[in-house]
A = this chain, B = another copy of it.
């Protein structure tokens, strides 16, 4: 029986997981799907580069309401020597967005034109005159949006791995698409375990612990672009936990087992992983959150998922999608702050890789620490801080370091890292802070 965990450095733990996933061919985009180009595509990640199928505009378009003309025919127009152009052969009324006639190469805005009737008098039918009189020349392509001004057919509109914003959807539509290929959302099973746990909203007696880690983890996974499934609480029963983990492994890409990741009497997670697969890491030198477990699970069988035959094509072979026979499992520590940070540290980069996007990087600023912090030399220690600007200085004030104090994460503006190798930082020294909130959300509003 091992009471003590053998913590390994964070970078080594991350590398061990990555290598195991590479060996299992799981360190890549998990899969792709075509979805309709509508507002639900927001936040999805492009699975391939998007090339323009059409140009935008796809013809020479008037940029104003006015008259399409040949620029050369306006060359002599001056305030004192106006030029007259006849409707039909020399000028044609166009609304904004209308295509220019083949012979035209410029537009004169309607407010720069005198519209004349059959008696050469100025007419109120400004859009359907017999002729127009102009008192200034126009350059070729004036007030014209030339074909391809915005997008030229075949050009790259967006690269693969791009997180879709509202305007991106417009650009994709403008380039002739009505569907879009995106990476599929990783399916993440979240299994809370613990005999002492009770569901949110329960009446509490001494020893009952409200189970809300699964809620936070699910929300984190959702915010990262994954698809979480929350399982009911499993009591501390080794066989029951094994059974539920194996069930979850069948139709998910990742299992988060919370908690039981430490080394106590009822901490079954490492044994569960050893029984159902391979234990890669048990214990990481990071605070809070060090009793993390990383492993791979074997799925029950190497069965393959057989897609239904194409309709009306019964003779063709069934479409077979190869199915991975392993999936990763993370044993997530029980304390809520440890749990949330474990997801940020180990699960975010994994979901990023599976979606094909860049991992999230928090903006980092240098701040002055307001009071001394001590820290075990061997650990990467993440300290929650409140940040505020005083004069030219950015100050970072440490919050509670208790791993059970979730309100400290609610209040935190960012995380200050005391790197391993450092035993502490004095008040007044500089510290790097990863900011949860952008500068405007945070500091500017605090000053307002």
Contact = CB atoms under 8 A, between A and B. Distances in A.
Interface of A: 3-4, 37-39, 41-42, 54, 56-59, 63, 65, 95-99, 110-111, 127, 145, 149-151, 157-158, 165-171, 173-174, 176-178, 196, 200-201, 204, 206-210, 212-213, 215-220, 222-223, 228, 230, 262, 264-266, 334, 336, 340, 358, 361-364, 402, 404-407, 409-410, 438-441, 444-445
Given A97-B209, A166-B223, A171-B406, A361 B441 contact: yes
B212 A170 contact: yes
Contact of A222 (B42, B174, B340, B409): B42
B167 A216 contact: yes
A196 B407 contact: no
Nearest to A444: B361
A163 to B, nearest CB: 10
A171 B410 contact: yes
A207 B98 contact: yes
A37 B213 CA distance: 13
Contacts of A364: 440
12 contacts: A4-B111, A38-B218, A42-B223, A95-B265, A145-B404, A166-B340, A167-B336, A169-B212, A170-B212, A171-B410, A174-B406, A176-B201
B57 A215 contact: no
A358 B378 CA distance: 42
B228 A39 contact: yes
Which of A63, A165, A362, A445: most chain B Cβ within 10 A?
A165
Contacts of A334: 96-97
Given A95-B265, A166-B340, 6 more contacts: A59-B206, A95-B266, A167-B336, A167-B406, A169-B216, A361-B445
Nearest to A58: B204
A92 to B, nearest CB: 13
B216 A264 contact: no
A362 B445 CA distance: 11
Top 3 closest A-B pairs, CB basis?
A: A178-B201, A173-B212, A166-B219
A218 B39 contact: yes
A404 B219 CA distance: 38
B96 A264 contact: yes
A176 to B, nearest CB: 8
B440 A363 contact: yes
A252 to B, nearest CB: 16
A358 B212 contact: no
Nearest to A212: B173
B65 A363 contact: no
B438 A38 contact: no
A207 B61 CA distance: 8
B196 A98 contact: yes
A131 B407 CA distance: 38
Contact of A127 (B111, B168, B265): B265
Given A215-B38, A218-B39, A222-B39, A404 B63 contact: yes
A46 to B, nearest CB: 12
Given A42-B223, A207-B99, A215-B39, A65 B167 contact: no
B410 A216 contact: no
A172 to B, nearest CB: 8
A171 to B, nearest CB: 5
Contact of A210 (B56, B110, B264, B402): B56
A167 B336 CA distance: 9
